[in-house]
Amino acid sequence: MKQEGKNKGALALLPILVFLVIYIGVGIYYEYVRPQEGVQGFYVMSVVVAFMAAIAVALFQNRSVSFDEKMRICASGMGDDNILIMIFIFLLAGAFSGVASASGCASDTANLLLGIVPGRLTVLGIFLIACIISMAMGTSCGTITVMGSLALSISQSAELSLPLCFGALVGGSMFGDNLSFISDTTIAATKTQGCQMRDKFRENLLIALPAALITCVILLIIAWTGKPAAVNEYTFNLVRALPYFVILIAALAGINVFIVLGFGLILCTGIGLSTGSIDIHNVFISMGSGVSGMYETIVVTILATALSALIKYNGGFETIIHFIKQHFHGNKGGQLGIILISMLMDISTANNTVAIVVSAPIATDIRKEYGITPQRTASLVDISTCIAQGIIPYGAQLLIAAGIAGISSIQIMPYLFYPYLLFVCVLAATFKGSKN
């Protein structure tokens, strides 16, 4: 009977396998087997459609449970308080990002910071500015989009390596996204583990800061051994650059994320209207487009929680935890298990927010079993998915960067110093650190 239960638990993981085969399989096929001009292979198959197929498989499993009961199980997963709060924050973050970009606040902030960077330290400056911008914006993709054209022009005018410049940009974007208080990954990690954002921030900073500092040293050595870069003069409006700094300070002060985002939205709107960079008509349009940009993330979050609820009910998570117990021992072993599962989920989904939502219930069970604190668990889940997302060549971050630079994402990978060092630092912190 025990073996039969174990087999049933393993079979409960079949929907995840179906998701991986459909999502990654189609991506590999259209990216490498039969590539098409102007088409990114890993975006042919929608992650929403892949999740729908996985849920369909899960609904056909466990015939002893009625279909209506399975719907109630899904609803219980989707109706979690933290999921609802997360969705509201996603919507508000989307509205803020839309207005901030349309009003010129994002680009003016980047130009302001680029204007104070010495020519010889240009690549290091790109990394540091990306760190600041992504912490303020809460999105690595948005940071790469905003700064991508600047990094491209800097590379061309200063005759710097394109892959190096964009590797620094992607690394800095992942640093800030991982630590930002308004990032969807931070929101997902803290809400699913039930901890405060500032507690998770402290845990993250102890791991991420050493990786960032070593990255700075590497980029400094590269800058000092190369020739000085001739950087163009960047124009900016100082007033339009203020909102991001205000938001960053407010977030670090521990102010509620709803207040931070709401005030940031009002501030960007007011400054944009007063400086004439946007009119009221475009404020509403940009808010709508920003919110629309969050729709897929919200839908995937809902589907992922529904699928997780079914898999957990059918014993799938128990099987994973049993595997962790067999191969990872003690508190540190549990942390390694969380790192492994989170990274595998991100490699599978190519979306760190989705990977956090999917792996969160398993991570919660592991932390309870091994006595790991909620803030440590949230930090490990967020960092692990950040590492994987920052290095996979089919992830949105590298694909956006490669598209702007006009090169292959594979060419950027050797210069992703920060994600690689972050992986070393999180392992070092896990093996060396005290019980968490």
Element (DSSP H or E) covering residue 116: none
> CB of 154 within 8 A of CB of 232?
yes
> CB of 130 within 8 A of CB of 175?
yes
Q: Which residues of 306-343 are buried (b: 16+ CB within 10 A; e: fewer)?
A: bbbbbbbbbbbbbbbbeebeeebeebbbbbbbbbebbb
pLDDT score recorded for residue 281: 92
pLDDT score recorded for residue 241: 81
Q: How far apart are CA 412 and CA 161, in angstroms?
A: 10
Residue bearing tokens 């020519």 = 119
What predicted TM-score, i.e. pTM, was given to this entire model? 0.69
Is the confidence at residue 35, as pLDDT, over 70? yes
Q: How far apart are CA 199 and CA 203, in angstroms?
A: 7
Q: How far apart are CA 397 and CA 375, in angstroms?
A: 26
Which residue, among 263, 265, 10, 290, has the nearest Cα to 141 in the 3D structure? Answer: 290
- Cα angle 238, 104, 259 (rounded to 5 degrees) comes to 85
Neighbours of 24 (CB within 10 A): 18
What pLDDT digit, counting tens, does each position of 173-207 carry?
A: 999 888 887 777 888 888 888 888 888 888 899 99
Give the pLDDT band of residue 26 (cuts 50, 70, 90). Answer: confident
Residue 350 DSSP label? S
Q: Where are the domains of the chain?
A: 82-292
pLDDT score recorded for residue 3: 42
Residue bearing tokens 């300070």 = 249
> CB of 435 within 8 A of CB of 406?
no
Strand, helix or coil for residue 165? helix
HSE on the CB side for 182, CA within 13 Å? Answer: 34
Q: Which of 18-22, 105-109, 113-117, 407-411 has the lowest mean pLDDT?
A: 113-117
Residue bearing tokens 């939502």 = 357
> Which runs of consecutive H residues, i.e. helices, occur in 103-237?
105-115, 122-137, 140-158, 162-179, 184-193, 197-225
Q: How many residues does the chain have?
A: 436
What pLDDT digit, counting tens, does each position of 282-334 carry?
A: 999 999 988 887 787 788 778 877 887 888 888 887 787 778 778 877 888 88
Q: Which of 180-194, 364-378, 380-394 has the lowest mean pLDDT?
A: 180-194
pLDDT > 90 in the chain, percent: 22
Q: By 3-state DSSP, what share of the chain in percent is helix, strand and coil, each rounded to 5? A: 80, 0, 20
> CB of 94 within 8 A of CB of 290?
yes
Which residue, among 82, 195, 86, has the nearest Cα to 436 in the 3D structure? Answer: 195
